[in-house]
Amino acid sequence: MQHAFEVLIDSGLLDTILMGILTVVVIPFIQQGFKSAKTTKVANAYGALDKVAEGVVAKLATQYDVPSGVKHDQALQTISTQLAKKGFKSIDTEDIDMAIEKAYQYFTSLDTKSQAKQSEFNDGLAAADKESQKAVETVPEPNVEVKEAVAEPVSDDPEQDSLAKLRTAIASAQKILAEKEQQGGDKDA
């Protein structure tokens, strides 16, 4: 047996056999182990991303007065920070955006209290905007002056002059009421 090894070593055949075994068996086994470890690390990173995104989206869903764009930016920043603290720094912004969208779609598919409250808040905000618009429409323009008609004495009788002034005041009041009604009619049209 010893003689067979000497022959293999002297001929270089043992080196060839060992290189073949190394190339065919050992190197692929090591590469597979490396890929498996890398795949596991990536899978763990994206699993953590999904969990963090769900938590952040759930928390931001209760902030009814914050616009959606601001919520998205806050979610992106918070998720990036939390992943960095956990040691996952290789996840890019597009993947985080996708995780936020996935978490958002998940939560919108549920019938949650926060969705009902958000809907109620949105309805109240729309009603408040509508009432505010009505109030703005009824405010007179700042440079509009209502001129009162001055009744000039018609006769020498003071009683006749008072009656003329009263008629003028009534006419002015009717004119103002007619204008207000016309503004109210235009608003409903």
Per-residue pLDDT, 19: 78
Same domain, 105 and 35: yes
Handedness of CA 91, 93, 95, 97 (dihedral sign): positive
157-166 pLDDT, tens per residue? Answer: 666 777 777 7
Instruction: Determine, yes or no, domain membership for 40.
Output: yes
Q: What is the extent of the structural domain holding 187?
A: 135-189
Per-residue pLDDT, 132: 72
Same domain, 110 and 50: yes
Same domain, 73 and 108: yes
87-125 pLDDT, tens per residue? Answer: 888 788 888 888 888 888 887 776 666 666 777 777 777
Nearest in space to 102 (alpha carbons), one of 62, 156, 47, 143: 47
Instruction: Determine, yes or no, domain membership for 167.
Output: yes
What are the Cα distances from residue 42, in Å, to 47, 56, 69, 81, 162? 8, 21, 29, 18, 95
- pTM metric for this prediction: 0.44
Please state the domain count of the chain.
2
Instruction: Determine, yes or no, domain membership for 122.
Output: no
Evaluate if residue 187 carries a pLDDT over 50.
no
Region class of 56: left (phi > 0), else alpha (psi between -120 and 50), else beta: alpha
Per-residue pLDDT averaged across 149-154, rounded? 52
39-97 pLDDT, tens per residue? Answer: 787 778 888 888 999 889 888 877 777 888 898 899 999 999 988 888 888 788 888 88
Asked if 102 and 47 count as a contact pair (C-beta separation under 8 A), the reply is no
Amino acid at 119: S
Same domain, 14 and 92: yes
Per-residue pLDDT, 74: 92
Same domain, 142 and 109: no
Instruction: Determine, yes or no, domain membership for 129.
Output: no
